[in-house]
Amino acid sequence: MAAKKRKTAKKTKTKKTVQRKNATQKKSAAKPKKTAAKKRTSRKTQARRFARLRFFGKWLFVLSVWAGIFLFGFILYYARDLPGTDDIVSVPARTGITILAHDGRSVGTYGGVRGQDVYADTLPAHLVNALLATEDRRFFSHFGLDMRGLARAFTRNLREGRISEGGSTITQQLAKNMFLSHDRTVKRKIQEALLALWLEQKFDKEEILTAYLNRVYFGAGAYGIDAAARTYFDKSAVALSLEESALLIGLLQAPSRYSPFSNPDLALRRTVTVLYAMADAGYLDRGQLDGVTAQNLPLRFVDARGDHADRHFMEWIADSIGGFVGTTGRNLVVTTTLDNAMQDNSAFLLRRMLDTHAQEKNAGEAAFLALSPDGAVRAMVGGRDYAQSRFNRAVQAERQPGSAFKPFIYLAALLQGMDVSSVIDDAPLTPEEAGGYTPENFAGRYYGPVTLEDALAFSLNTAAVRLMRRAGIGHVIAAARKAGITSEMRRDLSLALGSSEVTLMELTAAYAVFANGGFSVYPYAVLEIRDDAGQILYSRDAPEIERVFPARIIRRLDVMLETVVTRGTGRAAAVDGARVRGKTGTSQNARDAWFIGYTEDIVAGLWMGNDDGRPMTGVTGGTLPAQLWAEIIGGSDLTDLRYRPPTAEGEGIGGLLRRMFGGEEDGGASGFRGDNTERFN
């Protein structure tokens, strides 16, 4: 039995051994088959990879083609309206404007100051080096775009979160100045880059430098380096010293800010910055700059533009030329209505008044405007000093007129049948009566029942508010509109105290309607425009006159405005030998002080205040403005400015007889001229 078990076990063992051998043989036989499968799998994988590569390659090619088409179209789109660039070296003549006074005498010149065309290789080396050091150090190595500069500018702007550096090359700046606007748009920047590339391909570096230096703006009306040299130093560009060259190149960053005329200290500091930039770029030895400061620079600039007294007027004229003759590209000679003597006298006296009282009275600025009663501008002083501020306060500043607006209230009342001697109550007003606020008289006193003449003469506020309520706000606004006030007016009772802002020009022109007897006025200054060959391009034709107010109404208002000067708030404006009519005005907290007045031949307005609205100290319309007004008008010879009143239908022989014999339609001013001065003192 045991033997049988051993025999069975041995068979089993032998069987297992055979099975293992068979399995091993099977595995051995299967190995070649598996390797072949792997090889087949590898070939399939490679095929799939190749197919994917072909797929991606195909679409990459397609996308590249479309990207090229898109880029071509993109460039074509922005290049379609690019200007021609055939000639950049020859410099186009810039329009210069010669402005003449009404008598033909020169007022001055305005516009492109004309210098000589220069070539880069004839200029001092330090001038070109200053330009390269500050504007484009790699000018001679780049292809129109400075990629390093653009990357640096992009990084800095990204870091600071604002555009603080542009990265534009001289070629890009030339492209912008010659052909494009200064708008900060994507389109303009792309076109600028395209033009820069084109310029670099078409012209050599010397030609580009020459074109740039002949065209770039240096401020003060000077285009080109030679015009700038003549404007600031009264010399040719080829004679500029190192320091003078540095100053002029320093202007390119911001001509107005760094102007030596308006900011001499800042201009000198900028000059030092340019000199150190030249040293940093290797054009100067640092040792040459030892001890150089803005205070010891050997510079002496000369303002070759002449007196600043007329500059606000000249700029106002220059800005209007396009409306008369368009863009001609020619030098122009413009004859205006300006009176040289009055202009010079008013500018001198205005500055002297401010120099004397500015600190004491905290009055930093003033403006003066004189018109003939038909609207001809005879004098315009836009501020204390054009070199310090180009802002023209005679035509641009909108300020509250205060009581200088009141004549329109009284005009509306007269138009509704009231008279000079009509009575209005001057007494405190409740907020309900005054529309939510409480107006008070200037001196805090109230006089009870007063005539319209006295209420206007002594500028009684509560009486004016009551009169506006009686006349109606709408009628007051309508009267002011007819007189020529174009600014927006508040439709509430605060309008009675001059709360709505106006310009000196429109307020003075509105008073001219009172001065000429009730005819419309449109201020004008240009009489004739010729080109430099003498051809007349524009000649003014006097417009048809239009009566906007009845003569009898204007005569009554005229009586009241004369009382303002003879015994009211405007007594300081009296001029010996002249019949002056006018009105004072002071806005809240003395932020603005006015006097607008007229004689038989001239209408003039004067404003005083501060640009930032700071209150003045002790200044009202009846003090410094009225005094200065009288000084200017009293010191002006008006012989050549005699005014001839217009004659319209119904103003002929009848009007003449009425003026000769004092006749009045429906009763006139009733002869009421009682002197109640003591009552108001």
User: Is 222 inside a domain boundary?
Assistant: yes
* β strands within 398-502, DSSP E: 423-426, 448-451
* Residue 346: strand pairing partners: none
In total, how many domains does the chain have? Answer: 2
Do 164 and 272 sit in the same domain of this protein? yes
What's the gap between Cα 287 and its chain centre?
Answer: 43
Q: Are the CB atoms for 614 and 362 separated by under 8 Å?
A: yes
Residue 409 DSSP SS3: helix
Domain boundary among 246, 271, 289: 289
Q: Measured between alpha carbons, how far is 118 from 381 in angstroms, rounded to an integer?
A: 37
Q: How many CA atoms lie within 13 A of 601 on its CB side?
A: 13
User: Is 19 inside a domain boundary?
Assistant: no
Q: Measured between alpha carbons, how far is 632 from 595 in angstroms, rounded to an integer?
A: 12
Do 172 and 280 sit in the same domain of this protein? yes
Tokens of 305: 């533009």
Q: Measured between alpha carbons, how far is 387 from 392 in angstroms, rounded to an integer?
A: 12
Global confidence as pTM: 0.66
User: Is 441 inside a domain boundary?
Assistant: yes
Do 545 and 644 sit in the same domain of this protein? yes
Residue 667 DSSP SS3: helix
Residue 136 DSSP SS3: coil
Q: Measured between alpha carbons, how far is 245 from 165 in angstroms, rounded to an integer?
A: 23
Do 139 and 231 sit in the same domain of this protein? yes
- The whole-number pLDDT of residue 498 equals 94
3 — phi, psi (to 5°)? Answer: -65, -35
- The whole-number pLDDT of residue 654 equals 45
User: Is 68 inside a domain boundary?
Assistant: no
Q: Are the CB atoms for 453 and 560 separated by under 8 Å?
A: yes
- The whole-number pLDDT of residue 14 equals 53
User: Is 336 inside a domain boundary?
Assistant: no
We report the CATH number of the domain holding residue 466 as 3.40.710.10
- Those residues with Cβ within 8 angstroms of residue 177's Cβ, 6 or more apart along the chain or in another chain: 212, 215, 216, 217
- The whole-number pLDDT of residue 649 equals 46
User: Is 194 inside a domain boundary?
Assistant: yes
* CA distances from residue 6 to 2, 15, 17 in whole angstroms, order as listed: 6, 14, 16
Do 516 and 605 sit in the same domain of this protein? yes
What's the burial of 40, exposed, middle or buried (CB within 10 Å: 0-12/13-18/19+)? exposed
Tokens of 178: 């010659």
What's the gap between Cα 140 and its chain centre?
Answer: 37
If one counts every other C-beta atom within 10 angstroms of the C-beta of residue 560, the result is: 25
Do 532 and 605 sit in the same domain of this protein? yes
- The residue length of the chain stands at 681
Do 279 and 371 sit in the same domain of this protein? no
Q: Measured between alpha carbons, how far is 277 from 253 in angstroms, rounded to an integer?
A: 14
We report the CATH number of the domain holding residue 281 as 1.10.3810.10
Do 281 and 408 sit in the same domain of this protein? no
Do 233 and 378 sit in the same domain of this protein? no
Do 350 and 274 sit in the same domain of this protein? no
Q: Are the CB atoms for 396 and 365 separated by under 8 Å?
A: no
If one counts every other C-beta atom within 10 angstroms of the C-beta of residue 678, the result is: 7
| Measured torsion, CA atoms of residues 104, 107, 110, 116, in degrees rounded to the nearest 10 | 80
Q: Which domain holds residue 205?
A: 114-289
- Those residues with Cβ within 8 angstroms of residue 355's Cβ, 6 or more apart along the chain or in another chain: none
Catalytic residues: 135, 403
User: Is 309 inside a domain boundary?
Assistant: no
Do 348 and 276 sit in the same domain of this protein? no
User: Is 298 inside a domain boundary?
Assistant: no
What's the burial of 104, exposed, middle or buried (CB within 10 Å: 0-12/13-18/19+)? exposed
Residue 149 DSSP SS3: helix
pLDDT along the chain (681 residues), means of 10: 51 54 52 57 72 73 64 50 51 71 87 74 95 92 76 64 65 74 57 79 89 86 86 90 95 89 88 95 88 83 64 89 79 93 95 93 96 97 88 95 97 96 92 77 89 96 94 96 95 93 98 97 95 90 90 97 97 96 96 97 97 95 97 92 70 46 41 54 57
Q: Are the CB atoms for 337 and 102 separated by under 8 Å?
A: yes
Q: In one letter, which amino acid is 599?
A: T
Q: Are the CB atoms for 195 and 181 separated by under 8 Å?
A: no
Do 531 and 383 sit in the same domain of this protein? yes
Q: Measured between alpha carbons, how far is 412 from 415 in angstroms, rounded to an integer?
A: 5
Tokens of 268: 């000198």
Residue 562 DSSP SS3: helix
Domain boundary among 243, 260, 289: 289
* CA distances from residue 52 to 41, 49, 56, 59, 65 in whole angstroms, order as listed: 16, 5, 6, 11, 20
Tokens of 250: 């320093």
